[in-house]
Chain A
Amino acid sequence: MARITAGVTTSHVPAIGAAIDLGKTEEDYWKPVFAGYEWTKKWAKENPPDVVILCYNDHGSAMSLKMIPTFAIGIADQFQPCDEGYGPRPVPVVEGHPDLAIHIAQSLILDEFDITMMNELDVDHGLTVPLSLVYGQCEKWPTKVIPIAVNVVTYPQPTGNRCFNLGKAIRRAVESYPEDLSVQVWGTGGMSHQIQGPRAGLINKEWDNAFMDRLLTDPEGLAKVPHIEYLREAGAEGIELIMWLIMRGALGDKVRELHRFYHVPASNTAVGHLVWEPAAA
């Protein structure tokens, strides 16, 4: 039986990807950001999953406004990094796991989560920056990846509660897959940031840290937080944090914190990062 063995959350700031690609990680500005991932890189080497279910959002890169699926799952063999206007990132092609992805899609739909299946999906910084942060520069990503894309761009986004429950449904789906696979669920995006309008540059450290605390100890309560609170307190783009609730839902009731990191700033954004594992109830 497949099992969910760990959860990771991280910001997915494009400039972090650029810093890695351009060899700037040792610069004074970037050093403290990457220091927060050193523990994780070591942990990731020692705990290689078979598959990562990577929850992220497309930033108007592959999905346009032609169709705006609330939840979509990549069921292809491969996902190509997209050209977001600066040229594609020099990172490996992302290998999928079609068999598990299709199983999850079917299981979710029968569980009343009507997810959109994508046979073609190019992936942007939302998906590749977290991989780079955890695995560094490499020839080939050491894990297969199932992308789950969440609409966090067009309001109304799914509610936090819907994301939390989606995580729970993903757990049920994974646990009903017959092959013995180690599966991690990652939630990406955030933390507080706003990259538009006169209020751009907003950072709310207190709110971000309270969010991480509540995600650990009171996820049901946190899941009830309405959109307006994210938009107002964490910035217009801080609403990406709803995707962290998918990871939380997937880990089960009790979790153990292995690693936590918070840093301001990376570009316009507060960087938050967690590594958690399910704990026996």
Chain B
Amino acid sequence: MIDYSEIDDIPGTTIFTADRARRGYHLNQFCMSLMKAENRERFKQNERAYLDEWPMTEEQKQAVLDRDYNKLLELGGNIYFLAKLFASDGLSYVQAVSTMTGMSVEEYQKMMLNGGRSIEGWRSKSKGI
């Protein structure tokens, strides 16, 4: 068996494993469907009805409606697929990504301009480094 202990030990990070790709399959395929302009239009008109066309779990559907990206990662979403959802909302990567950090867009942008998030303290949950 693959040992995930080190991967799971990275703080604030959800690695998109083959197992998550399986669990999030329909969620991610739904996101991809938004690459078509006519689907984006239909989704915008009635998000819930559009989601109900997909065999996703209720939890996944709710997290999409809430645009809760951390939750979507946990439920098998992958950020590159989720990007189709925030792109449909007209958000840039920076705007959407910052929502996962607990920072405002401005704070997040400022951090990036100052050289990004330092890795110190973000290497290992168990070692606290």
Contact = CB atoms under 8 A, between A and B. Distances in A.
A198 B101 contact: yes
Contacts of A207: 119
Interface residues of A, number: 45
Contacts of B7: 155, 228, 231
Contacts of A265: 112-113, 115-116
Interface string A79-90: 000111111000
A21 B28 CA distance: 27
Contacts of A154: 16-18, 21, 78
Interface in A54-113: 59-61, 64-66, 68, 82-87
Contacts of A153: 16, 78, 80
A201 interface: yes
A213 to B, nearest CB: 18
Contacts of B69: 196
A interface secondary structure, majority: loop
B83 A84 contact: yes
Contact of B2 (A85, A156, A201, A232): A156
Contacts, number: 159
Contacts of A14: 93
B123 A232 contact: yes
A200 interface: yes
B interface secondary structure, majority: helix
Given A154-B21, A268-B97, A199 B122 contact: yes
Interface string A154-165: 111000000000
Given A85-B34, A154-B18, A198 B102 contact: yes
Contact of A59 (B12, B83, B100, B122): B83
Contacts of A202: 116-117, 119, 122
A2 interface: no
A254 B110 CA distance: 41
Interface of B: 2, 6-7, 10-18, 21, 24-25, 28-29, 31-32, 34-37, 40, 69-70, 73, 78-81, 83-88, 92-94, 97-98, 100-102, 108, 111-113, 115-119, 122-124
Interface of A: 14-15, 18, 59-61, 64-66, 68, 82-87, 153-156, 192, 194-205, 207, 228, 231-233, 236-237, 264-265, 267-268, 270
